[in-house]
Amino acid sequence: MKRFFIAPAQRLRIPLELACLCLLLITCSKSEVDTTDPDSGNPPVLPQNLYYPPLQASGQWETTSMESLGWDAELATSLNTYLETEGTQAFIILKDGKIVMESYFGDFTDSSLWYWASAGKTLTAFTVGIAQADGKLSLDDRTAEYLGVGWTSAPPEKEQKIRIAHQLSMTTGLDERIFECTLPNCLQFKAESGTRWAYHNGPYTLLQNVVASAVSEDFSLYFNRQLRNRIGMDGFWLAQGEGNNIYYSSARSMARFGLLVLSKGVWDSEVILEDPAYIEEMVRPSQSLNKAYGYLWWLNGRDRYMAPGSQVVFSGPLIPSAPSDLIAGLGKNDQKLYVVPSQSLVIIRMGEDTGDALVGPSSFDNALWQRLSEMMGL
C-alpha cells in the first residue's frame, strides 16, 4: 500500500508589506536569487528563518504547501509514481526546514529504519569535525598517532605520511581494490598520500577508530551524545563485513541531519559543531584530483569529477540537472541525502537500487533532479 503526504495549502493572513516582498522574491530570476559560484570558493549564504522540528520524535513537524511555494503540485503525483516504480521506500522534501512532501511506499512508515550505506559517510565527517572542535584531534595529525604504527601494510615511511585529512578526502594512496577490509594486510601501498584520489571504504571506516582513540570513548557513544541525541535523530551503527559500520535510521532522521548541515552546524539556537571553517571545508573540494569531492561529501557544479571504481576524470558537473551548489551524501542502492543551500532545500530518498548498482553517484540522481527541477520551477 502506498502512502504519501503533500502539505496542504496554508490559510494565512499576510500583511500587505510581506506579500509584496514575497512577490518580489518569486519574480526574481534564478541568477538573482542563486549567486553561489561553486568554483569561486565563496560560501553560499546561510538560509534565514529556518524551522526546526521538536526533539521528540512524536512531536509535530510543521508543513508548508507546494501552492504557497509556487511549485506544481500536479507533478508531485507523477513524481510519486516514478519513485514507487524505482523501488523507493521513503522520500522527503524540506523547504526552510518544513515538510513539503513526505512519501512512504509498501509497509514503510515514518518510524521504519533503513540503511544509509555510504550516505552515512557524511555523519562520520561531521563527527570528525566535532572532535577537532573539541580539541581532541587535528586533520593534520598522522593517522598512526591514533591507530598505531603498522595499521597498514605500507612501508613505514609511507604510512607515516597518511593523515586524517587524507582519509576524509579519499587520498590515502592505499590500494582500493580491497575495498571494505580494514585489516593491515588489506591496506596496501599504491601511491604517495595526497597524490591519488580513489573511493576506498577501508581507510574511511577507520576514521571512526581514529575518533574513538582521540576521545577515549566508543565512536557510537560519542556520536550519539555529541550529534544524534542533540538534534532528535534515531538510529544506530551496525557493523557489517570487515569492520564496515553502516548507519540505520528513519527517513525523518536523515532529514534532520540534512537540516543541521543546511544550517551550518546549528540546531535552533544550539551550536552542534563549533568550527565554521571546518564546515566550509567539508563541503568544498578537498583536493584538486576530484573537484566533486569534499570531506566525504559529493559536490555538484564543478567542471569535472571522478566516480568510485574508476580513475577516469569526467567533464562537467556531477548532476547536471541539479542546482550547482548541491552537496550530497550518496550511498549504495541509491540512498540519497541532498542539501541545496541556495534553495533552502533538504531532500532524502531511501530504498532499493534503481538499476545501476553503484556505491555512490548514479544515473538516478540526474533523472530525479530533472523531475524535481520541473516541479519546483528551478
Q: Percentage of residues in the chain with pLDDT exceeding 70? A: 87
Q: Lowest mean pLDDT: which of 1-5, 150-154, 309-313?
A: 1-5
Instruction: Give per-residue pLDDT as tens, 99-129.
Output: 999 999 999 999 999 999 999 999 999 999 9
Average pLDDT over residues 276-292: 97
Q: What was the pLDDT predicted at 34?
A: 39
- Contacts of residue 80, Cβ cutoff 8 Å, sequence gap at least 6: 2, 4, 91, 103
Task: Indicate whether 306 pLDDT > 90.
Answer: yes
The answer, yes or no, to whether residue 373 has pLDDT greater than 70, is: yes
Give me the torsion for CA of 307, 309, 313, 314, rounded to 10°.
Answer: -50
Q: What is the 3-state secondary structure (H, E, C) of the chain?
A: CCEEEECCCCCCCCCHHHHHHHHHHHHCCHHHHCCCCCCCCCCCCCCCCCCCCCCCCCCCCCECCHHHHCCCCHHHHHHHHHHHHCCEEEEEEEECCEEEEEEECCCCCCCCCEECHHHHHHHHHHHHHHHHHCCCCCCCCECHHHHCCCCCCCCHHHHCCCEHHHHHHCCCCECCCCCCCCCHHHCCECCCCCCCCCCCHHHHHHHHHHHHHHHCCCHHHHHHHHHHHHHCCCCEEEEECCCEEEEEECHHHHHHHHHHHHCCCEECCEECCCCHHHHHHHCCCCCCCCCCECCCCEECCCCEECCCCCCCCEECCCCCCCCCCCEEEEECCCEEEEEEHHHCEEEEEEECCCCCCCCCCCHHHHHHHHHHHHHHCC
Q: Which pLDDT band holds residue 59 (cuts at 50, 70, 90)?
A: confident
User: Within 10 A of 139 (CB to CB), how many other CB atoms are there?
Assistant: 18
| pTM across the whole model | 0.89
- Do residues 350 and 329 make contact, with C-beta atoms less than 8 angstroms apart? no
**CA atoms of 252 and 103, how far apart (whole Å):** 11
Q: Is the pLDDT of residue 24 over 80?
A: no
Q: Name the band, by pLDDT with cuts 50, 70 and 90, for residue 267.
A: very high
Rounded CA-CA distance 84/88 in Å is 5
Poorest-confidence range of 45-49, 251-255, 312-316? 45-49
The alpha-carbon radius of gyration of the chain (Å, integer) is: 21
Mean pLDDT of the chain: 90
Which pLDDT score is estimated for 8?
47
pLDDT of residue 45: 55
pLDDT of residue 47: 63
Residue 59: partners with Cβ closer than 8 Å, 6 or more residues away: 53
**Tens digits of residue pLDDT in 131-141:** 999 999 999 99
pLDDT for the residue 357: 86
Length of the chain: 378
Task: Please give the Cα distance from 276 to 183 (Å, whole number).
Answer: 34
The three cell numbers of residue 362 are 548514479
> Which of 46-60, 162-176, 233-247, 351-365: highest mean pLDDT?
162-176
